Amino acid sequence: MESTPSSSTPARDLKPVRTRFAPSPTGRMHLGSARSALYPFLLARRTGGTFILRIEDTDQKRFVPGAEQELIDGLRWLGIHHDEGPDIGGPCGPYRQTERRAIYHEHAWKLVDLGHAFPCFCSPERLDKVRQEQMKNKQNPRYDGACRSLDPGESRRRVKAGEKYVIRFKMPKEGTVAAADLLRGSITTDNAALDDSVLLKSDGLPTYHLAAMVDDHLMGITHVIRGSEWLPSMPLHMHIIRAFGWDEPVFAHLSVFLKPSGKGKMSKREAAEALKDGHSIFVTDMKGLGYTPEGVLNWIVLMGWGVSEDDFLTLDEMTARFDIHNLTPSPAAINFAKLDHFNATHIRSFRTEDLAARIKPYFLQENLEVDNDTLLKVVPLIRERLVTLDDCLPFAAWFFRETVTPKPEDLVGKNLTAAQSADIARQSLEILAGLPEITPAAAEPPLRALVERLGLIPNQVFGILRAAVTGQTVSPPLFESMEIVGKEKILERVRRAVEILEKM
Ligand code: GLU
């Protein structure tokens, strides 16, 4: 078995691994897929190794057109870049299993020749009858061995004659098999408890068991990191690998994802509910919901990796610290509050120019004209307040509007009448008009003095000005915002507020 690098090993001493992400294109790309890609990617990057994308599309009934592209787009958005794959090629291709039929065929028959597999001609109807009978007798349903001891020459003749067949693994009846999972240790199973599983189906395509073992071998995979739903198949996989006489890769089975309550897996209906809340378990929804790849990766990487929970990690930091031994087998409950936390934390860490470039499209989508100078000044004022990128709209879209239209009632100060508010707005206007420039340093002291003179609290006066200038009741810091908007527009807006208040 391969030795496995750990985080205490200096990077220069690590042996380059070959890892893979092997999704089936059977639906949308969810968090679980992203995590199944991320860990092997990190392991490969940490050791200077190779990360492969392999598309496992042999289950034609579950095939969903477009799913492969969604996976590739999702990986690219997250920054999980593969070194070999169906879209970029590589030395071990093809990387799409339906394009490797001949390889599986040859390997299935090789196992037949070695005496570890046999062709089976049983019809689905017969197998169904056997199953019914076994269930009636309270036995575990399994293959009854009807074709196990057919004469090999006779079997080949029937295959040549065009009879429909599958190839099954010839499971030993006695003995045990040990299978080691890096996170859970070794488990020994009685062979008598195992079935003669199908390796090659009657449509000529392999089952996962054969295809994945053959490909992991031919592609030189040293570390298999995959979902825990494959744990029960480990004994069969060990048998297949050993029957061929191949080296075993290291296996690590990841924990399952549970819904936020921690009770069971997330259903389709619950996923739809989450979307109404601005959350999603699907990677390709995340961008539209204003999440950043950095935030999503940080969230995902900690769901099943035993580093301190509050860790803020960039992809580079994850790579430097990643240790496959610290993966945990305990289930992870999806916690969207944590996603929000990490997204906001990463947004706060972005350089001004970077964040500006990321939020600009949201303004453009609203048909706003965005000049970059203004945008660069706005970013520092809103950075701390953004949980998702699209939060830039409620806080800052008004900066890019020629005019704002406050609701008249928002212009009325707290516990004040419209007439009193009009008077306060008029006095503020005089102060602002008398300033050479509206900056926080110039505008704040005289306006605070006004608050005191009138015996009011700051919010009453500044609330009126905020509504007048921004058109809304919540905004970035008032004086800094006023400086960006500029004196001319400010005076015009406050004057307009006075008019509205006088008419109320
Ligand atoms: N195609 C399998 C799945 O999507 C892959 C499991 C593996 O990584 O080997 O579940």
Look at residue 309 in the predicted model and tell me its pLDDT: 61
- First-to-last C-alpha distance (Å) of the chain: 82
504 residues of the chain, pLDDT tens digit each? 555 666 666 666 679 999 999 999 999 999 999 999 999 999 999 999 999 999 999 999 999 999 999 999 999 999 999 999 999 999 999 999 999 999 999 999 999 999 999 999 999 999 999 999 999 999 999 999 999 999 999 999 999 999 999 999 999 999 999 999 999 999 999 999 999 999 999 999 999 999 999 999 999 999 999 999 999 999 999 999 999 999 999 999 998 888 888 888 888 888 888 888 899 999 999 999 999 999 999 999 999 997 766 699 999 999 999 999 999 998 889 999 999 999 999 999 999 999 999 999 999 999 999 999 999 999 999 999 999 999 999 999 999 999 999 999 999 999 999 999 999 999 999 999 999 999 999 999 999 999 999 999 999 999 999 999 999 999 999 999 999 999 999 999 999 999 999 999
Residue-level pLDDT at 11: 64
Domain 402-502 grouped into CATH 1.10.10.350:
yes
Q: Annotated active-site positions, please?
A: 268
Query: Nearest 10 degrees: CA dihedral of 325, 328, 329, 332?
Result: -150
Lookup: tokens for 242:
């050993």
pTM summary value: 0.93
Among 68, 208, 231, residue to substitute to test ligand 1 (most atoms within 8 Å of Cβ): 208
Point out the ligand 1 atom lying closest to the alpha carbon of residue 225: 8
Task: Answer whether 56 contacts ligand 1 (Cβ < 6 A).
Answer: yes
Side chain identity at residue 264, one-letter code: G
Place of tokens 């089952």: 207
d(CA 482, CA 378) in angstroms, rounded, equals: 11
Q: Return d(Cα 388, Cα 410) in angstroms, integer.
A: 26
User: What is residue 12's predicted lDDT score, i.e. its pLDDT?
Assistant: 62
Reduced to 3 states, what is the DSSP secondary structure of residue 1? Answer: coil
Q: Which atom of ligand 1 is nearest to the CA of 229?
A: 10
Query: Which contacts (CB < 8 Å, 24+ apart) does range 133-142 have?
Result: 142/195, 142/196
Main-chain phi, psi angles of 357, to 5 degrees: -65, -30
What's the pLDDT score for residue 160? 97
Question: Residue 226 Cα, ligand 1 centroid: separation in angstroms?
Answer: 6
- From 19, 20, 24, 250, the mutation candidate for ligand 1 (largest count of ligand atoms within 8 A of CB) is 24
CA distance 359 to 155: 66
CB-ligand 1 contact for 227 (6 Å cutoff): yes
Q: Which CATH number fits domain 100-254: 3.40.50.620, 3.40.640.10, 3.40.718.10, 3.40.50.300?
A: 3.40.50.620
Pairing of strands 166-169, 198-200: antiparallel
Domain map (residue ranges) of the chain: 100-254, 402-502
Six-digit token string for 5 = 């690098």
Fold: same for 100-254 and 402-502: no
Is the distance from the beta carbon of residue 71 to the nearest atom of ligand 1 less than 6 Å?
Answer: no
Q: Would residue 416 be called left, alpha or beta, if left means φ above 0 and alpha means ψ between -120 and 50 degrees?
A: beta
215 CB near ligand 1 (under 6 Å): no
